[in-house]
A and B are shown apart, each in its own frame.
Chain A
C-alpha cells in the first residue's frame, strides 16, 4: 500500500512537472477542434512571430526574476533602442554599428538598474519603476512625440521583416537568443550563481561569490534583450516611436516568465520553461483572436489564467 501511494504520488509529480506543455497541448486541441483555421502552418508561424518580441524579453529577464528581482523598465528600453537605431541609420553608420548602438542603449539602462540595485541595495521594483519613467522621458526627449519612418533600409528591415529558410527572421532571432540563454543557464556558472542568489543572497555572498557583479550582469542582459526586441520591432513596422512598449509590456513579459514556473521570490527558474510560458500566452491570445473573443473577455481570461496558474504553482510548494 505504501509503494502504491508512493507511485501515485510520483505520477502526480510527473503530471505536475509537465503541466505547462500538457496545458498548451490541451488548449491547442480545443482551439483546433472549434476552429480548423487554428492548426494551419500559416497560423502556427503567425503565433511564433507574434510572441517573438515578448519571448526575447522574457527569456532575457528570467535571470533577473531568478535572483529575486524584477525589471519593469523593458517597455521604454524597447522604444529608446529603436530610436537610437533610427538615428544611427540617419547618420549612415554601417548596419553592425546601428545594431550595436541600439543594443548598447538597452545595456546601459540595464547596467544602471543593476548597479543601483546591487550597490545601493534598493528594492528592484521601485528602482526599475523609476528608471521606467526616466527612460521614457529620455526617449521622448530623443525622439519627440512624432513617428520616425525608416525607409529604404533593406538590410535593417530584414532584421524584423525578412524571411530566412521560409520563416520570418524574427523567429530565428528568438530561437537563437533562447538557445543561447538556455546554454548559459545549463553550461555556465552564471545559471547556478543566479539561482544561488535567489535562494539565499547572504549565503551566496558569504561563499565568496561577487553577488553584485552577477546582479549587474543579469540586469544588463535584461536591458539588452529589451533593446533587441526594440530593434526588431522598429525594423518590422519601419518606424521608431518614443511611446512604443506601452505600459503593460513589462507585465506581459513578467507573466510569461512566472507562468514558466520561475518563482517571483527568486531561486527556482528555467529559461526553457519561460519559452513554454511565452507560447502558452501566445497560443491563448491567438486562439481567442481567431474565435473572435472580444478584447475585454481576453483581458479577463488572461488575468484569471495567470492567477489560477500561480495558485496551482504555489500549492505545489
Chain B
C-alpha cells in the first residue's frame, strides 16, 4: 500500500504530537498511559472507521452513537432478561447494529433523503427505541445487576504481549487490551474490503460521482445501503466493547459519539466531499485525538479548555483538508485537459 502525502503528513504530525507530550507531559510515555490510550480509544477508532464508509459515499451517519446505545441495550436485554448464552448474543447484537445501519442506508438510497436529515431522524428514533426496549425500565432491579456472561466479559481482557516476547526484561510494557486487537481486525477487514474488492471500488466510484457510477452500471443504491450497514456494524462492535468494560449498559450509551467519530474521520483525511480516504486515516485520527486528550489531562489542563482545543483541532483538520483539495485541483485539471 502506497502512502498518500496526506497520510504521511498526518503520521508525521501524530508522531510530533506524541513526541512533544512525551517530553513535556508527566507520565505520558509510560506503560499505564499507553494502556489507557489503547483501551480508551480502540472503540473510538472502530467507530471512526465505520463512520468513514457513509462519508466516503458523500453521506454522514449522525445516528452512529444511537446505534451504539441500541446494540448495547440489545446485549443487556438478551443477557439479563432472556439469559441467552454469549455466543448467541454476540451475533445478534451485531445483527441489530447492522440492521439499524441498513435502515439508514435505505432511507438515504431509496427514499432519497438527505443523509444528514435521515440519520438525524433515526438518531432520535433509535435512542427512543433504546428506551423502549430498555431492560432497566422493563424489569426494575436489573439496574444493579452486572452482566457476567463469559463470552461478553471476555472482550474486556488484557494480554501481557510484552511479557511473552520477553521485552519486559528491558522496558515496562503495557498490557494490550483485546479491544485493540479487535480494532486491528476491523481495520484489516475494512481495509481489504475497501482496497481489494469490487465493493470497495464501487464505494469510491459512488462517492466520486454517484450519477456517473450509476451510468457505469454500478448498483449505487446497494452500495450506499451497504456503506451505512457497515457503519452500524462497527457501532455494534464498539457497543460490545463498552458493555464489556462497564459490565452493563445504559440508555445513554454512545451519546455524542457521532461528533467524535466524524472528527476522527475528517482528521484522518476522509473528505466530506466523498470518494477520498481510507481506513488508515480514521484509525490514526482517533488515536491522535486520544493522545492529545490524554496528554492535556496529564498536563493538568481542565476539561473545559480541552473542549476548546478539540474544536480547534477539528478546525485545523478541515483547513488542512481544504488546502489539500486546492492543491489537488490543478492536477485534476491537467489530467482532464490532457485527456480531451
Contact = CB atoms under 8 A, between A and B. Distances in A.
A147 interface: no
Interface string A264-295: 11000000000000000000000000000011
B305 A295 contact: no
A265 B114 contact: yes
Contacts of A131: 311
Interface stretch (B39-47, B117-125, B161-169, B195-203): B117-125
Nearest to A142: B304
Given A129-B263, A264-B116, A300 B306 contact: no
Interface residues of B, number: 46
B304 A127 contact: no
Contacts of A301: 128
Contacts of B306: 137
Contacts of A129: 259, 262-263, 311, 314
B311 A133 contact: yes
A300 B124 contact: yes
Given A129-B262, A137-B304, A295 B131 contact: yes
Interface of B: 60, 107, 111-114, 116-118, 120-132, 134, 255-256, 259, 262-263, 266, 272, 302-312, 314-315, 318-319, 322
Interface of A: 70, 116, 120-123, 125-127, 129-134, 136-138, 140-141, 247, 251, 254-255, 258, 264-265, 294-304, 306-307, 310-311, 314
B232 to A, nearest CB: 16
Contact of B304 (A116, A121, A122, A140): A140
A130 B314 contact: yes
A137 B307 contact: yes
Given A129-B314, A131-B311, A299-B128, A307 B116 contact: no
Contacts of A295: 128, 131
Q: Identify the interface centre among B113, B256, B312: most chain A CB within 10 Å of its CB.
A: B113
9 contacts: A130-B315, A133-B310, A136-B307, A137-B304, A296-B131, A299-B125, A300-B129, A304-B121, A314-B111
Given A121-B322, A137-B306, A299-B124, A311 B113 contact: yes
B311 A264 contact: no
A301 B175 CA distance: 46
B128 A306 contact: no
Of the candidates B111, B112, B307, the one having the most CB atoms from chain A within 10 angstroms of its own CB is B307
Contacts of A254: 117, 120
Contact of B322 (A120, A255, A258): A120
A302 B318 contact: no
A251 B120 contact: yes
B322 A300 contact: no
Nearest to A73: B311
Contact of A130 (B113, B118, B303, B311): B311
Contacts of B255: 247
A310 B113 contact: yes
Nearest to A70: B116
B305 A141 contact: yes
B311 A134 contact: yes
B263 to A, nearest CB: 7
B311 A137 contact: yes
A298 B128 contact: yes
B308 A299 contact: no
Contact of A297 (B128, B266, B305): B128
A306 B120 contact: yes
Contacts of A265: 114
Contact of A307 (B113, B130, B131, B262): B113
Given A122-B319, A123-B318, A300 B128 contact: yes
A303 B124 contact: yes
Contact of B123 (A121, A138, A251): A251
B231 to A, nearest CB: 17
A255 B308 CA distance: 27
B128 to A, nearest CB: 3
B117 A140 contact: no
